[in-house]
Amino acid sequence: MPRWLTGLRVRLLLAFVLVTVVGAVAAAWASYGSARGSLVSEAQQRTTEDVQRRVGSVAIDLTYPPDQEALDRLRSAVGGPALVTYGRLTSAEGADLGLLTGTLRAAVRERNALVLQRVTPASGPKLLVGTPVVKTTVDGERRPSGIEVYAVRDLMPTQQQIDASAQAAVRTSALALPLAIVLALLAARRVLRPVRELRGTARRFARGDLDVRLRVRGSDELAELSGTFNHMAAELQASVAELRRMETDARRFVADVSHELRTPLTTLTAVAEVLEAEAGQMRRDARDSTLLAVEETRKLTRLVEDLIEVSRFDAGAATLRLEDVDVGGAVEDCLRARGWGERVELDAPEEIGAVLDRRRLDVLVANLVGNALRHGRPPVRVRLRADEREVEVVVVDHGPGLPEGGAERVFARFYKADIARTRSEGSGLGLAIAVENARLHGGDIDAGNEPGAGARFVVRLPRFPEEDP
Amino acid sequence: MAQVLLIEDDPSIRRGLGMALGRHGHQVRSAETGEEGLRQSRDARPEVVVLDLMLPGIDGFEVCRRLRADSHVPIIMLTAKGDDFDVVGGLEAGADDYVVKPVLPRVLDARIRAVLRRGAPEPRRTETHAGLTIDRSGMTVTKDGDPVSLTPTELRVLLELSRSPGQVLSRRQLLQSVWEHDYLGDSRLVDNCVQRLRAKIESDPTSPVFVQTVRGFGYRFGPV
């Protein structure tokens, strides 16, 4: 369903038009109905009076009992299609006399009063008037004379008047429709403008423009909604500001911690190298102690470096330095620099050019391969693949593989796959840092087991990330 | 091997690194503050300065700028932060190289030796490219007859690039040949040095003629 069919505007429009048109039609029909009623009764009134007047004017001079000639006179006085009866005598003239049914005549005789009947034959609506002629005796008494006068009157003009008023009603209703649409559009616009403003403002807010606010006009529900929105925006802005402040603090803390920890480690590292060079000339227990101190200094250094790196990710202070990298060459360099060239099989089919952070790629590969060498068993294989969109680095070992449920937990900080495992070379942060580095590139790492081998880690990185983030 | 000036505020580091570098055959003098470091570098004329960034008083960036103002002595920054901003700031202030604490003395020794080798002359004659004259044995450069004052690092980059005009050298190749970095050098060292070099030898550094960027590959000398 397209928007313009389901939107608020259309619904408002339809409701408004419906109400208006129904109202207009009802009013038109009501006025038509009353007009019609009054037109009909007026026509009947006129016709009746006319017939009575005509009959009256002749009846005065009638001789009783009347003869055929008297009846003819009376009939011509009534005019139009008419029928005058007296007992057996009848005088009839004009069309449509067949409409005068026995029922009508019986009613006239029975009630001894004027009777009206409207009929609608094919020739158009007619009014039938039947009336007994009353004669007034000398002493003023009014008695039925036995003469009955029937007239057929055409209601066509009245019908045309009624039709005209019906057409007027239809026209009025039809006129109401465009008017209703225009009014509905205006009303909808009034209602929808604040809604549109709200939508636009919410969008800008979502895009990070946290200063935007709505203008609050009036005191209706929409104004209330705008006020609520403004309140929400202010609260969110305050929260964001607070979060940013915390982030800034965290970054500063990382910088401070890194400096504080690295200062003594710099001295220790320098001194350890001197001691190591001298260890050969020491007594055995002193030499063992020295070498142990040197070894632990290295571990401590690595742990602190990794901790700082993790803190930097947490503070959002980690940045990518993208450059053109030959992935195969970079991985080869990484293995060679750490003296793993012999122990790791590299399967890199063709030259893969990509835009990556070379240093982070190195850390990533080193951490995964180091992990495989420590916890898996040889042969450790690194497989490189790429298509137009992404680069894939797969590290597989032939050890026992990841334990049940280890695939999710293996990237957790200080995760130890084997509880009984002695403390090893790793800081326990290597895989966590690897996955952070992959995600910083917009990629990810999947952990699992390779059938017929050990653990398998699959790194996927976008090959040519957008220049503009 | 070399006269090294270590400017570092932490006394333990001064002693520890001093001892370790001494074992590598260097003669190490040390200074506790930037001001003292500047004074010592004027008096003792060290061959290389190892400079900590976080100093009380005037910081490492400022020391670096003041050293550069009147000297081409190679400067290796000793930074306790891996933050990109620090490194870039230091490089823009005119440092030749940087190491991150805690640094292994043998790594620092290798970097010191590498910066010192950059001033070493080559057995080749003088060559001229469109007004730019490079004297490889005398280690001097003139542009339109006027001498151009280059630091050893800038000079070495120019020598490497002009060795084969028209041929592209990647940042990595330059890092290995000039800085003698391991496989994982920081290409910003190259970019920064090229910017400084352009500012000195190009007529219009924004549209360089001598040191041209080949997008996605690296840098190329000429063709002029």
CATH number (domain holding residue B204): 1.10.10.10
Predicted local distance difference test score (pLDDT) of residue A469? 43
Whether A452 shows a pLDDT value over 60: the answer reads: yes
pLDDT confidence bin for B84, thresholds 50/70/90: low
Judge: B84–A359 Cβ closer than 8 Å, yes or no: no
Whether A100 shows a pLDDT value over 80: the answer reads: no
User: Between residues A408 and A437, which one has the greater pLDDT?
Assistant: A437
| Helical (H) or strand (E) element with A310 | helix A284-314
User: Distance, in angstroms, between B40 CA and closest chain A CA?
Assistant: 23
- For chain A, the domains span 3-162, 222-315, 323-462
Q: Are residues B165 and B198 in the same domain?
A: yes
In which order are the strands placed within the sheet that holds B168-170? B168-170, B218-221, B211-214
Whether A4 shows a pLDDT value over 70: the answer reads: no
Predicted local distance difference test score (pLDDT) of residue A422? 46
Judge: B15–A273 Cβ closer than 8 Å, yes or no: no
pLDDT confidence bin for A94, thresholds 50/70/90: confident
Of B81, B84, B102, the CB nearest to A255: B81
Residues of A in contact with B182 (CB under 8 A): 337
Of B103, B183, B188, the CB nearest to A266: B103
Q: Could you tell me if B69 lies within 8 Å of chain A, comparing CB atoms?
A: no
User: Distance, in angstroms, between B88 CA and closest chain A CA?
Assistant: 12
Q: Are residues B200 and B179 in the same domain?
A: yes
Q: How many whole angstroms from its chain centre is CA A200? A: 15
Judge: A258–B186 Cβ closer than 8 Å, yes or no: no
SS3 of residue B4 by DSSP: strand
Whether A383 shows a pLDDT value over 80: the answer reads: yes
User: Considering only alpha carbons, which residue of chain A is nearest residue B191?
Assistant: A323
Q: Are residues B217 and B191 in the same domain?
A: yes
pLDDT confidence bin for A419, thresholds 50/70/90: very low
User: Distance, in angstroms, between A269 CA and closest chain B CA?
Assistant: 6
pLDDT tens, B154-182?
999 999 999 888 899 988 889 989 998 87
Whether A416 shows a pLDDT value over 70: the answer reads: no
Residues of A in contact with B25 (CB under 8 A): none
Whether B33 shows a pLDDT value over 90: the answer reads: yes
Q: Are residues B28 and B108 in the same domain?
A: yes
* CATH C-level class of A323-462: alpha beta
* Assigned token pair, B114: 């590498």
Q: Could you tell me if B2 lies within 8 Å of chain A, comparing CB atoms?
A: no
* CATH C-level class of A222-315: mainly alpha
Which residues pair with residue B48 across a beta bridge? B4
The pLDDT of A205-233, averaged and rounded, is 86
CA–CA dist B121, B135 (Å, integer): 9
Cβ atoms of B87 and B43 within 8 Å: the answer is no
- The A-side interface with B (CB below 8 A) comprises 255, 258-259, 262-271, 273-274, 277, 301, 308, 312, 317, 319, 321, 323-324, 330, 333-334, 336-337, 358-359, 362
Residue with structure tokens 């010191």? B112
| A89-93/A142-154 β-pairing | unpaired
Predicted local distance difference test score (pLDDT) of residue A420? 42
Least confident of A183-197, A200-214, B156-170: A183-197
User: Considering only alpha carbons, which residue of chain B is nearest residue A297?
Assistant: B102
Range of the domain at B98: 3-119
Judge: B187–A323 Cβ closer than 8 Å, yes or no: yes
Residues of B in contact with A358 (CB under 8 A): 184, 187
Q: Are residues B79 and B113 in the same domain?
A: yes
pLDDT tens, A287-311?
999 999 999 998 888 888 888 888 7
Cβ atoms of B92 and B68 within 8 Å: the answer is no
Which residue of A262, A298, A351 to mutate against B (max B Cβ within 10 Å)?
A: A262
Residues of B in contact with A359 (CB under 8 A): 184, 186
Cβ atoms of A316 and A439 within 8 Å: the answer is no
Residues of B in contact with A265 (CB under 8 A): 101-102
Of A259, A267, A358, the CB nearest to B80: A259
CA–CA dist B62, A171 (Å, integer): 90
Residues of B in contact with A262 (CB under 8 A): 80, 101-102
* CATH C-level class of A3-162: alpha beta
CA–CA dist B30, B14 (Å, integer): 7
* Domain boundary residue, one of B88, B119, B150: B119
Whether A163 shows a pLDDT value over 60: the answer reads: yes
Q: Are residues B180 and B209 in the same domain?
A: yes
User: Considering only alpha carbons, which residue of chain A is nearest residue B14?
Assistant: A267
Of A268, A274, A358, the CB nearest to B19: A274
Cβ atoms of B156 and B169 within 8 Å: the answer is no
Number of H helices, E strands in chain B: 8, 12
Cβ atoms of A139 and A63 within 8 Å: the answer is no
Judge: A269–B12 Cβ closer than 8 Å, yes or no: no
Q: Could you tell me if B19 lies within 8 Å of chain A, comparing CB atoms?
A: yes
Residues of B in contact with A340 (CB under 8 A): none
Most confident of A53-57, A130-134, B30-34: B30-34
Cβ atoms of A127 and A40 within 8 Å: the answer is no
CA–CA dist A428, A303 (Å, integer): 8
Whether B97 shows a pLDDT value over 90: the answer reads: yes
Whether A62 shows a pLDDT value over 80: the answer reads: no
Q: Could you tell me if B103 lies within 8 Å of chain A, comparing CB atoms?
A: yes
| Helical (H) or strand (E) element with B130 | none
Predicted local distance difference test score (pLDDT) of residue B183? 64
Whether B199 shows a pLDDT value over 90: the answer reads: yes
- In terms of pTM, does the model score above 0.75? no
Q: Are residues B140 and B74 in the same domain?
A: no
User: Considering only alpha carbons, which residue of chain A is nearest residue B217?
Assistant: A324
The pLDDT of A169-177, averaged and rounded, is 79
User: Considering only alpha carbons, which residue of chain A is nearest residue B184?
Assistant: A359
pLDDT confidence bin for B83, thresholds 50/70/90: low
Q: Are residues B176 and B104 in the same domain?
A: no
The pLDDT of A97-106, averaged and rounded, is 77
Q: Could you tell me if B81 lies within 8 Å of chain A, comparing CB atoms?
A: yes
Whether B22 shows a pLDDT value over 90: the answer reads: yes
pLDDT tens, B1-20?
789 999 999 999 999 999 99
Residues of A in contact with B13 (CB under 8 A): 263, 266-267, 270
Predicted local distance difference test score (pLDDT) of residue A2? 65
pLDDT confidence bin for B223, thresholds 50/70/90: confident
Judge: B13–A270 Cβ closer than 8 Å, yes or no: yes
Q: Could you tell me if B85 lies within 8 Å of chain A, comparing CB atoms?
A: no
Residues of A in contact with B183 (CB under 8 A): 330, 333-334, 336-337, 362
Judge: B13–A273 Cβ closer than 8 Å, yes or no: no
Q: Are residues B134 and B56 in the same domain?
A: no
Q: Are residues B150 and B102 in the same domain?
A: no
User: Between residues B67 and A60, which one has the greater pLDDT?
Assistant: B67
Mean of per-residue pLDDT scores for chain A: 82
User: Between residues A142 and A303, which one has the greater pLDDT?
Assistant: A303
Mean of per-residue pLDDT scores for chain B: 89
pLDDT tens, A11-29?
888 888 888 878 887 887 8
Q: Are residues B179 and B110 in the same domain?
A: no
CA–CA dist A132, A384 (Å, integer): 119
* Domain boundary residue, one of B119, B148, B166: B119
Give me the CATH number covering residue B103.
3.40.50.2300
User: Considering only alpha carbons, which residue of chain B is nearest residue A325?
Assistant: B216
Whether A468 shows a pLDDT value over 50: the answer reads: no
Angle of the B84-92 helix axis to the B60-70 helix axis, nearest 10 = 20
Q: What's the total number of domains in chain B?
A: 2
Predicted local distance difference test score (pLDDT) of residue B210? 93
Judge: A266–B16 Cβ closer than 8 Å, yes or no: yes
* Domain boundary residue, one of B95, B119, B143: B119
Window 166-185 of B, Cβ < 8 Å to A? 171, 182-184
SS3 of residue B62 by DSSP: helix
